[in-house]
Structure 1
Amino acid sequence: MRKSLPVLFLLLILSPLSSRAPGEIISYELEGTLSPREIEDFNQELFEGYVVPEAKYSVDIYWVKFNSLYPDGTDAPITTQIFIPRYEDRDSRSVYVFGAGSTGLRDSCRPSREHILGIRWGLYRSHVLAHAGQGSIGIFSDYMGFGDPDRLQYYMVAECEARVLLDSIRALKNLLQELKLDTVSYTSHFVAGFSQGGHAAFAAADYRLSYAPDVSLSGIIGYGPTTDIFSLFREYSDVAPMVLYTYSQLYGIENVDPSQILIEKFADNLERDLLRMCVGGMQSYYPHVPQGLFRDEFIASLTEETLERDYPDLFHYVEMNSTGLAGQRIPVAIYQGGNDIVIFPETQTQFVEKLRSMNVPVDYVFYKDARHDTRQISFEKSRTWIENHTK
């Protein structure tokens, strides 16, 4: 079934360029229902080497298209999957809003296609289904720009990531009203993410008061979150071309010029290369370390931490899009691997220390032998943490 919905709430401030309210549902469709056994079978691959969580609920899966706003204030159609457990009684429910790791810029790289094509970027649908099977309403959205034939993903643009996650919560509220579910009395919202998704989760917290004061957040969960972009340039450099290209298009090449940062081999063919590959291809094509990717003078500035002096415009836009330190005091859980090669443990620990210095309550769990993806090893701890913070 596919329906169009009326506006179910009004924003205090709405851009005149937008024809729909942020979070307004454009259409929705029930894909089907998975039983607990089907959820467990679907999650076998994700939890290989771990105990597959025993699902407690059947889950209805909805494909929803809702409206958000591009940076210029125009309508941004967003595709999301919403997983609603089949509850038997009326009660307060947790909502798990998940952001995927990096997949690429072009539309064929959008995370929602992963399970359809049989690609393994992170088995993100399985991850959210696992949480839904435990009783949380799950939300898993494509990032802004995906699904729009005239756009690319707004990669590591904090404002855009925040809007997607926050507006997806608004869309859920609209969907629950449309479905007239009487088993959800109240919702506690948790924004979570792996790698880039962790950057997005913290962005949602940073922008909540200015963009969506009507949306409450009960917690932030990061699995190897990559909140500091210059740290990412130093420690896992092969994502830098996506960042530089996106920022050059959004903020102007006079402010962010990839040819001043990347060596000639990669700068000359940047757009062509990024539009022919998803993240797996990029990881094989671009160096993982600064040497061989960046120009020598940029490496020196990156290493010596003189970027504010040497590349002031780039520094401004990168700092503007680094997330997590805007002063929010929402409870945080971070699950970090000791063998993480994307965000080094010492870098994550420094981030946690900064949060704690700002009186943010942080539950920091360190897995000595784990690598970047800590979603499976931390599953039981994350479930307990969510339950303890659900109102």
Structure 2
Amino acid sequence: MHRLRVVRAVAVASLSLAGVAATSATAATTVPKLRTGPSGVSFYTPPAGSLHGSSHGGVIWERRQTGADALKGAGRATLVLYRSIGVTGKAVAVSGSVTVPRGKAPKGGWPVVTWAHGTTGIADACAPTRSPASGKVADYTNYVYPQLKALLARGYAVVRTDYEGLGTPGVHPYLVGRSEGRSVMDMVRAARKVNPAIGRRVIVAGHSQGGHAALWATSIARTWTPELKVAGTVAFAPASHLSEQAALIRALGSPGGGLSALAASILRGIDVAGVGVDVPSLLSPAALALYPQVDTLCQPELGAASSFGGLAPKDILKADVPLDPLVAAIDRTDDPENLKLRTPVLVEQGSADTTVFPSFNAQLVDELRAKGAKVDSRVLPGVTHGKVVKAGLKSALSWMAKRLK
């Protein structure tokens, strides 16, 4: 009788332990069900109360992503609205997308490339995930799809932020580094909640504005998203030395086209960054009349003769306003050459780039190295600004693979 009680006790204990183990395993692998967001542009407006009570990188809602920006050949593409911390320090909603390769993830999960896009404009309609493949900024978004597909083919998850205020409520703080960096890194956090097969190993990459954003994201990653392991950063023709260029604005007397449009967007970014510069008071009457268009038009429209493209850069600001406070603000909030980076960096630059001048990025590389960064640099002969991602991808893929071993 005693032996029977012992056997029964052992059996009950074994079943109990098995139940605990099963429950633990389930808890470890079960993913909380995420809310499905609405279709259309309503997706980009967060529901009341959704920004409270959760840390940055939390998912507000998601839905299946379709169209060309879903990247044909992907295993799954998901549109995401997630939480971040905006330029003023308050919680904001940011949109983006998550794309994973086909097949089974490797041990440790898919390594992830968080891609930061180039300039499209400040208006909500300019957000890459909101703009149709044939829309007004198609030339500013579609060019990189083949390269992003190549990343998927190599077994990398690809996540892409639209940035704070671009597509979502609020004004996009154009080229304000801390805002961009938070959006880029919080995108990875959100992606790992959407798809647990995405791992912790990260490459931060981007082109033009996105190269600028990638450098800023890397600078904050260790403290902002410490659970992620940034293996390296690839910056294709990153914007840099903006304060030095701003100091030269009065020497540019010809109608600026896209250059004047960029200058207006940079000024708008400083305007919303909360750094104590009253930008409208600095603008000439002609520029002040056009200034509201920065919030409503995309980059190609702003560069038109009917908008800022019809103004010479020197005519954007009043002739008698001192430039020093503005230049100092841009240096503080925008310029990546001031950063201290602790993970490897690759800078790819085209020698024929007339948007981001090679001389500035040669300085950028030297300055980052002087601050302790390990920077590899490649100058691609005859390559323009728009072609640098395609021309530099093969070497960038090899560079990424070595850092992700």
Q: TM-score normalised to the size of structure 1?
A: 0.78
The aligned residue for residue 400 of structure 2 is: 386
The 5-angstrom pairing of residues 348-367 of structure 1 reads 348-367=361-380
The 5-angstrom pairing of residues 39-78 of structure 1 reads 58-78=74-94
The aligned residue for residue 330 of structure 2 is: 318
The aligned residue for residue 274 of structure 1 is: 294
Alignment match of 1:160 (pick from 175, 179, 185): 179
Q: Deviations over 1:336-376 (max 9, x none)?
A: 11111111111110111111222322221111211112011
Deviation at 1:270, TM superposition (A): 0.9
In 1, the alpha carbon distance for the partners of 2:212 and 2:235 equals: 8
The 5-angstrom pairing of residues 1-391 of structure 1 reads 3-4=33-34, 18-31=52-65, 58-88=74-104, 90-92=106-108, 93-118=110-135, 119-123=138-142, 124-149=144-169, 151-177=170-196, 181=197, 186-233=199-246, 234=248, 236-251=259-274, 255-260=277-282, 262-271=283-292, 273-284=293-304, 285-287=307-309, 290-296=313-319, 310-321=322-333, 322-373=335-386, 374-391=388-405
User: In proportion to residue count, which structure has more helix?
Assistant: 2
Query: What's the secondary structure of 2:65's corresponding residue?
Result: strand
Q: 1:250 to 1:217 in 2, by over 3 A?
A: same
In 2, the alpha carbon distance for the partners of 1:269 and 1:32 equals: 35
The aligned residue for residue 306 of structure 1 is: none
Deviation at 1:312, TM superposition (A): 4.3
In 1, the alpha carbon distance for the partners of 2:264 and 2:126 equals: 16
In 2, the alpha carbon distance for the partners of 1:192 and 1:89 equals: 21
Contact 1:331 1:361 in 2 (8 A): yes
Report the aligned-residue RMSD. Answer: 2.8
Aligned positions, number: 339
Query: What's the secondary structure of 2:122's corresponding residue?
Result: coil
In 1, the alpha carbon distance for the partners of 2:217 and 2:120 equals: 20
Query: What's the secondary structure of 1:63's corresponding residue?
Result: strand
Q: 1:205 to 1:154 in 2, by over 3 A?
A: same
In 2, the alpha carbon distance for the partners of 1:201 and 1:213 equals: 16
In 1, the alpha carbon distance for the partners of 2:146 and 2:81 equals: 20
- The percent of aligned pairs where both chains have the same amino acid is 21
The more displaced of 283-292 and 217-226 is 283-292
Letter in 2 for 1:28: E
Q: Deviations over 1:244-267 (max 9, x none)?
A: 123223327x6232442x433112
Contact 1:25 1:171 in 2 (8 A): yes
In 1, the alpha carbon distance for the partners of 2:330 and 2:338 equals: 14
5+ residue gaps, structure 1, are 6-16, 43-56, 299-309
Deviation at 1:292, TM superposition (A): 4.0
Deviation at 1:297, TM superposition (A): 5.4
5+ residue gaps, structure 2, are 1-31, 36-50, 250-258
In 2, the alpha carbon distance for the partners of 1:257 and 1:33 equals: 39
Letter in 2 for 1:77: A
In 1, the alpha carbon distance for the partners of 2:63 and 2:272 equals: 34
Query: What's the secondary structure of 2:336's corresponding residue?
Result: coil
Contact 2:244 2:327 in 1 (8 A): no
Q: 1:242 to 1:349 in 2, by over 3 A?
A: same
Q: 1:115 to 1:219 in 2, by over 3 A?
A: farther
Q: Deviations over 1:70-115 (max 9, x none)?
A: 2344331121111101234633543111111111111111121334
In 1, the alpha carbon distance for the partners of 2:131 and 2:229 equals: 30
Q: TM-score normalised to the size of structure 2?
A: 0.75
